[in-house]
Every structure is written in structure tokens, then in C-alpha cells.
């Protein structure tokens, strides 16, 4: 019995490490589900009922999330926000590639005042704004805004540098956060996805630079001495 509980404990720990090395949300969920089952068996056999209950809840939550992922995959149903992202912005119509990208993103609603990334933050997330809007601040000053169908953090993703600005939610928004490492790995493996993503990010950066230049030009005209 002692040998079995030891094997279960080590198995749970190793599976947790494996989960951290996965490249999709689906793989992460499955690995953590099996790790949770192993941990549940360990705590149940060693009569640690409290920890066994915690593991049971952990397994149940992962099981529900896997069911949701499988249901969405079977139905092929995409969220309205995902349709906008894949069809209009990225131009990716292959169902398999769409599903893979869906596995790399996490949707959530964010409230006004929430900080999505901070200036000089290392490895900031790549965020897609589906609805709402955000303020972009540099050295404490608002230098721009971003709204629907725009990316945040793309400059850091392309350059590999820290975040160039702080991003604060200006109004209740719907955003998707990408697993940037897994996304980069997938883009390298699939040239079509890499091309679509690169074009979308470049278009977004160009639009932001154009808006910043317009704001700067307007400010210069307002501050110019009057005749």
C-alpha cells in the first residue's frame, strides 16, 4: 500500500510538470485531470480526507472544462468574437487551425480600471480586444486608446522586449488572452498562420502609429503661437 501511494504522489507531481509543458489548453486540461486523479488516489489511500476533497473538486472542475471544450469542438460553434477574429481580422477559414487557435486563447470580461499590462513588464501577454476599449499610458500619460478588433502587446511579441506602455481598461470590455509561447510555437510550425498573424499585427501597429501621429500633430497645432 505504501508503495502504491508513493507512486501516485510522484505520478501526480510528474503529470503537473508535463501539464506546464503542454502547448494547448486542451492538453493542459487532460494532463491536470490525470494528475488530479492520481493525487486524489494518494490522499484517499492515506486517509487525508480534507486534501482528497480538494482534489475531487479540482478533478471535477477540469472534467467540466474538458466537456465544454469537447462540446464546442463537436458543434463547431464559434463565439461571435471568434468569428470576427478568425474570419475578418486574420482571414483563417480552416476549421482545424481555428480550433487550434481557440485552444490557445482564454476569453474573459474585464472591468473599467483593470490593468491588463504594465510598462516595462517582461513577456507581456498578447491580448485581443473584442468589445470595449482601453487607455494606453506611457510614463503616466495617456498616449492613445485601443478598441474592438485590436491587439495589445503585439510590439513586445514581435520585438521580444518588455511592454512599452501600461494598458488600463477604459470601459467594460471583452478580451482574449493568448498563450504567447504556444502561439509562437504554432505559428512557426504553420506558415499560413504565421503570415496571417504577422499581417494582422503589422496592420494594428500601423494604425496605432497613425493615430498617435494625428494626436501629436493636433497637439502641435493647438500649441502653435497665434498670429
The count of other CB atoms within 10 Å of the CB of residue 145 is: 14
The predicted structure's pLDDT at residue 226: 53
For position 54, what pLDDT does the model report?
A: 94
Phi, psi of 105 (to 5 degrees): -125, 150
CB 175 within 8 A of CB 127: yes
The whole-angstrom separation of Cα 78 and Cα 98 is: 9
Rounded to two decimals, the pTM is 0.64
The cell numbers describing 82, all together, are 471568434
pLDDT of res. 8 = 83
pLDDT at 96: 81
pLDDT at 15: 86
**Mind listing the pLDDT tens digit of every residue in the chain (227 residues)?**
668 888 888 888 898 888 887 766 777 888 889 999 999 999 999 999 999 999 999 999 999 988 877 766 555 567 788 888 988 889 888 878 888 898 899 999 999 999 999 999 998 999 999 999 999 999 988 888 899 999 999 888 878 889 989 999 999 999 999 988 889 899 999 999 999 999 999 888 888 878 777 766 776 555 555 54
> Tell me, what's the pLDDT at 157?
84
- Report the DSSP pairing between strands 115-117 and 126-138: unpaired
Q: Chain centroid to CA 29: how far?
A: 15
pLDDT at 55: 93
Residue 152 contacts residue 118 (beta carbons within 8 Å): no
| Of 166, 174, 169, nearest in space to 136 by CA | 166
pLDDT at 220: 59
Half-sphere exposure of 190 (CA within 13 A, CB side): 16
**Run of H or E including 222:** helix 191-223
Question: CA-CA distance, 194 to 165, in Å (whole number)?
Answer: 25
Write out the DSSP string of 126-148: EEEEEEEEEEEEETTEEEEEE-T
Amino acid at each position: 500500500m505504501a508503495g502504491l501511494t508513493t507512486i501516485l504522489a510522484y505520478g501526480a507531481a510528474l503529470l503537473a510538470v508535463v501539464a506546464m509543458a503542454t502547448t494547448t489548453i486542451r492538453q493542459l486540461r487532460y494532463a491536470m485531470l490525470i494528475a488530479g486523479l492520481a493525487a486524489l488516489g494518494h490522499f484517499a489511500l492515506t486517509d487525508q480526507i480534507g486534501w482528497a476533497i480538494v482534489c475531487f473538486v479540482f478533478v471535477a472542475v477540469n472534467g467540466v472544462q474538458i466537456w465544454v471544450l469537447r462540446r464546442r469542438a463537436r458543434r463547431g460553434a464559434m463565439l461571435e468574437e471568434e468569428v470576427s477574429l478568425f474570419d475578418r481580422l486574420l482571414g483563417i477559414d480552416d476549421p482545424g487551425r481555428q480550433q487550434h487557435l481557440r485552444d490557445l486563447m482564454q476569453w474573459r470580461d474585464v472591468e473599467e480600471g483593470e490593468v491588463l499590462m504594465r510598462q516595462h513588464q517582461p513577456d507581456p501577454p498578447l491580448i485581443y480586444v473584442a468589445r470595449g476599449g482601453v487607455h494606453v499610458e506611457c510614463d503616466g500619460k495617456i498616449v492613445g486608446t485601443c478598441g474592438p478588433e485590436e491587439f495589445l502587446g503585439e510590439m513586445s511579441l514581435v520585438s521580444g522586449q518588455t511592454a512599452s506602455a501600461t494598458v488600463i481598461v477604459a470601459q467594460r470590455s471583452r478580451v482574449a488572452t493568448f498563450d504567447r509561447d504556444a502561439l509562437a510555437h504554432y505559428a512557426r510550425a504553420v506558415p499560413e498562420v504565421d503570415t496571417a498573424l504577422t499581417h494582422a499585427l503589422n496592420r494594428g501597429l500601423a494604425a496605432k502609429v497613425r493615430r498617435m501621429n494625428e494626436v501629436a500633430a493636433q497637439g502641435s497645432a493647438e500649441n502653435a503661437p497665434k498670429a
